[in-house]
Structure 1
Amino acid sequence: MTDRSKTHGPHEQGLLARLPQLRRRQFLAGAAALSALGAAGVPLRAGAAPSGHLRVVANANPSSLDPATGGAGSDHVFLYCFYDTLVDWDFATLAPQPGLAESWEFTDPQTLVFTLRQGVTFHDGTPFDAAAVAFNLQRNRTAELSNIKNDLANVETVEATGEHEVTLKLSAPDTALPLILSDRAGMMVSPAALGNDPEAKVDRAPVGTGPWTFTAWTDGDKVSGAANPDHWREGIPKVESIELQIIPERATALRAAQSGQADIAYQISEQQKVLIEKMPTLELAFGPTLYVYQLYLNASRGPLSDPRIRKAITMAVDREDWVKATQAGVGEPAWMNLPQAHWAWSEEAAKYTQHDLDRARALMKEAGVEGGFELDFRGYTDQASVQRSEVILQQLGKLNITGRFTNGTIAETSSRFFSAEKAGDVLLSAWTGRPDPSLTYSLLYSESSYYNPGRVAPPEGFEAAMADSRATADQAERAAALGRAQALVMDAALTIPLSIRYEVDALSTKVQGYSANLLGKPKFLHVGLG
């Protein structure tokens, strides 16, 4: 198997040029084979009863197990265990595929009709039907507690137009909506579990239609589930129980897999890729993702409210050195919130994030802060995050920007930074990617978005460009519109993208059917133990 860790194919080759790679005996070589396997995974014993206990090492305690109320990108791996989505996506290309909705159709540019899968039940035994979908979508778009209102901003009305048919009327054309419904907004919660109250929560007691039913959550320790015997996918899940052990420190996570205490440890530090390849008891899953390390800025106050200062910061970052220092060269510089092979990559947007220390210093002088200032930095406690924080302080020190990092868990630190508390000026974290790029840019930069910590308005023209990107299904036209939006926000430096991480997962040799995916958020429904 060719190691593509140093391969960065040109934009024209598209995403298939850099598919996730899996060094396994069962791997079927070639891009066509991987694309065909995609969401189906590597098949095991079709229709066989689930057997075995799958132990997975996760990198963070969930912020919530309710898809509407959580706020951490690391939640998805947990949520996928207990919830299915209306629309699914192909592991290799992120192309939309049927999920709980077996089909969908735009009957006109502002009407989207879903035909739902029949015979599906929630874990509590209540039926999955159009009424349940309408309840969930209304809750996600209007409930006060919902953190995902922006995902469904273009949805004007939701109506159950049949027992298994749901019709969405849109305020504007939105071709991205099917893929948006493959994310949190499309995860279906049992209305009965919520007491049919959209303002109720299932933060700690998820009830979906997913491959496993929830059994327990011990904070900072583990989340577990038992096989859903009535799952609508034949032969899914492959194991009778799953346990996600929470170990933030990735070196410790790798040791757990090496010692046999865990079967899968995902998102291992890139520096440890070479170690995994040398371990006879482990196999490597590896490939590019949409996961972007970046600095989130609260641009509503202090020096960061000045766009000249934010631009100076983004120009002061040497992304090539960052990848070498923090990822052992396994990854690529991030010139925007997408990798270079993505179909929506923009050469124009990339111009605004090039390393230029002289220009950065000139902007600081122009802003009247050439002597520098201090910022309140926030980050996480694991060793790799601490190392990244040291590199950032060293690079920004060249502009006389100083400060110290206050570190905590992912869930707690992210919640305090993005919520009304607005704790900190800068958060060194990541954007974990979304299946459709318009959702990424909407969630990061729309004025009311949870992930816009200062709730500052994006540059003029951004919302129009976003609307244009969703008004057509033509990929070239969408890329042009998204390119305009990306150039505007990169010029405004509302976030500072740093680098693209690659998936580095350690697998026990007993693991069968595991595939890394382009989103970089593992799903385990096709995984079995040999």
Structure 2
Amino acid sequence: MNRTTRALAAVLGAAMLVITGCGGGAGSGASTATELVTTQGVPAAPTGTLRYATWQETPSFDPPRTTTQNGPVIFPVYDTLTSMDENFDVVPWLATGWSQPDPSTWRFTLRDDVVFHDGSRFDAETVKLNLERAKTVTGGPYTNIYAPIAEVTVLDPVTVDVAFSVPSPNFPYSMATVAGAMVSPKAVQDGTDLTRNPAGSGGWIWEAGEHREGAQHVFRANPDYWNRDAVKAETVEVKIIQEDNARLNATQSGQADVMATLQPGQIEAAESAGLRTLSDFTITASFLIMDREGSLVPAFAEPKVREAVGYLLDREAYNMAVLAGKGESASGGFAAPGSTWYDPELESLRQADVDKARQLLAEAGYPQGFSFQVGNQPVIKTVNETVAQLLADGGITMEIVDVGQGQYTAEVRKGHFPAGYFVPTSIDIDQWWTRTVSNAGIYNPFDLTDLADLDARYAEGAALSDPPARKAVFDELQRATVERGVLFPLSQIPRSAGLRSTVHASQQPVFAPEDIAPRPFHLWAEQ
């Protein structure tokens, strides 16, 4: 049994996906029955059932309205504009290539052989329709991606220009996530309610009659798929199992083949049971204070209170309690060690100091502390309980409130909670800023403008072509985010999924940095 190893790198550096477990890693050149990537026994036609265990139901099959956490039920039925390889480099999918005719424009060339499940065809007009429609979605999870789009211009049926009001250097990367999933033009034009009527062109077709809300989705292989070599499983079945141990038990017992969101403390148990693990450091566990003007919790309007929170969030204690010591608690910033954006000088920022925190709370007028609420889902219960214990050392009471399945980010975006736990990417600094931190991002339900100067600084950095100069700007932004009491890093955490040894792949599966499980392309399971 190989021990788990992880590469620490970045999409703009040298991020690597590590596959461990019985039988060795992918790409080793051998082809034993226990390996994931193999040239032996590859099905000539889709065969069998590939079963996933994921932790939440999607609130909608409309891509602009569902989060990346719901990828397991989105990727079988939808194609994205781009995709990613094992090094997290953006690669062709519906788009065959892209370039920048000017710093504020991305030009995409497209496939001409893609047909949606409803018979409509994919072309440049489809991209324009999707992006313009997505830009109008209110309160969606990808506002930071769509809002800067100024104009989408069709040059010919297979060429489209996407122009931005501000530079968007990571847009091709974003188009490889759920945000880049393309919806049928017929469905858009007909005003179809996509909540439970997906309208994609993906490798599998959703079976409405086999759906059990909150429990199961079933997809069947698309016989007219443009990329038939990527579809190896005849059926993809996605089971919704909220509790972490139940999800692992289902995979170990053979009720599921692929487990999404394998928790760090489960990795050794999973590998001991013969599962492979896909694991890397691409996300930062973080605590975000959104109510910085005190609309719900007056205490949070005090800078010294927010500073005190930073001193109470003991990163080493968090790492041991939540991640079984498998995180990278030393990093004070939000970038993965070894990545382009990592700044070692941030490691000492806000070291745990309970006495300092109590002093700051007293100076701010809260010597006895205060209380506030955060939202909760089963998958983050241990996180919330640990953060609550850390804050309690300073007299702060954090009340944990359960929300409906799959509704955590929606409740946050509605302004129902003043603060909470988030896992922004640690390898794409643009996505980290524009989605999670910026006043223009999706986690500003109180319409704050307190980071206007930092947003302007970000825009300056995004426009820079000199890498060291650009990095210097993002070093400033990471430091300012902590010093102003906006977002606190808790740990770099292993992003992991588990696979039974009966799962194989004809080539390296797609497991993009924001995915919670490998996508079903190229995968099949022994029956």
TM-score, with structure 1 as normaliser: 0.88
Distance 1:183 1:49 in 2: 27
1:164 aligns with 2:158: yes
1:436 positional shift: 3.2
The answer to whether residue 120 in structure 2 is matched with residue 122 in structure 1 is: no
Contact 1:69-1:147 at 8 Å conserved across structures = yes
1:395-406 correspondence runs (5 A): 395-406=390-401
1:75 Cα deviation after fit: 1.4
In structure 2, relative to structure 1, the CA distance for the partners of 1:375 and 1:124 (3 Å cut) is same
The residue that corresponds to 1:506 in the other structure is 498
Quote how far apart the aligned CAs of 1:9 are.
5.9
Once residues 262 and 294 of structure 1 are traced to their aligned partners in structure 2, the CA distance between those partners, rounded to angstroms, is: 30
Q: Is the 8 A contact 1:294 1:496 kept in 2?
A: yes
**Structural mapping, 1:116-515, within 5 Å:** 116-144=110-138, 146-197=140-191, 201-216=193-208, 217-279=211-273, 282-299=274-291, 300-301=293-294, 302-333=298-329, 335-382=332-379, 385-419=380-414, 422-428=415-421, 430-431=422-423, 433=425, 436-472=428-464, 474-513=466-505, 515=509
Q: What is the aligned-residue identity percentage?
A: 25
Cα distance in 1 between the residues matched to 2:131 and 2:234: 31
Task: Give CA-to-partner distance per residue, 1:112-136, whole Å, 9 cap, x none.
Answer: 2111111111111100001111000
Distance 2:72 2:281 in 1: 15
**Of 61-70 and 243-252, the range deviating more from structure 2:** 61-70
Q: Return the TM-score normalized by structure 2.
A: 0.88
2: CA distance, partners of 1:164 / 1:204: 30
Secondary structure class of the residue paired with 2:393: helix
SS of 1:293 mapped into structure 2: strand
Q: Distance in 2 between matches of 1:257 and 1:480?
A: 44
- The aligned residue for residue 23 of structure 1 is 21
C-alpha separation between the residues in 2 aligned to 1:211 and 1:10? 31
Structure-2 residue corresponding to 1:68 = 64
Q: Return the letter of the residue paired with 1:85.
A: T
User: Which amino acid in structure 2 is aligned with residue 379 of structure 1?
Assistant: N
- Matched AA of 1:87: T
- The 2-side partners of 1:43 and 1:196 are apart by 44
Cα distance in 2 between the residues matched to 1:520 and 1:186: 13
Amino acid of the structure 2 residue aligned with 1:248 = Q
Report the equivalent of 2:99.
105
**Count of residue pairs the alignment pairs up:** 509
What's the CA shift for 1:494?
A: 1.6
Q: CA deviation at 1:323?
A: 0.9
Q: State how far apart, in whole Å, the 2-side matches of 1:528 and 1:432 are.
A: 30
**Number of the residue aligned with 1:521:** 516
Task: Rate the CA distance shift 1:338–1:435 in 2: closer, same or farther, 3 A.
Answer: closer
Shift of residue 165 of structure 1? 0.8
CA separation of 1:130 and 1:10: change in aligned 2, threshold 3 A: closer
* Structure 1: runs of 5+ lacking an equivalent: 35-39
Against the structure 1 CA distance between its residues 520 and 321, is the aligned structure 2 distance closer, same or farther, given a 3 Å change threshold?
Answer: farther
CA shift, 1:99, in A, is 1.7
SS at match of 1:168: strand
Q: Cα distance 1:41–1:185, how it changes in 2: closer, same or farther (>3 A)?
A: farther
Find the aligned partners of 2:468 and 2:194 in 1 and give their Cα distance.
Answer: 41
Mark the CA change 1:286 to 1:178 in structure 2 (over 3 Å): closer, same or farther. closer
SS for the counterpart of 2:498 is: strand
Of 53, 57, 62, which aligns to 2:53?
A: 57
Aligned mates of 1:139, 1:276 — CA distance in 2: 42
Q: CA RMSD in A?
A: 2.8
Partner of 1:37: none
CA-CA distance at 1:365 after TM superposition: 2.2
Change beyond 3 A, Cα 1:67–1:475: farther
* Change over 3 Å in CA distance of 1:359–1:73 after alignment to 2: farther
Instruction: Give unpaired runs (5+ residues) of structure 2.
Output: 31-35
Deviation at 1:349, TM superposition (A): 4.7
SS in 2 for 1:61: coil
Q: Is the 8 A contact 2:45 2:232 kept in 1?
A: yes
- Give the Cα separation in 2 of the matches to 1:371 and 1:179: 46
- Please say if residues 9 and 339 of structure 2, whose CA atoms lie closer than 8 Å, have aligned partners that are also in contact: no
CA distance in 1, matches of 2:77, 2:70: 11
Letter in 1 for 2:412: F
- CA distance in 2 between counterparts of 1:190 and 1:435 reads 31
Contact kept in structure 2, 1:50 and 1:235, CA below 8 Å: no
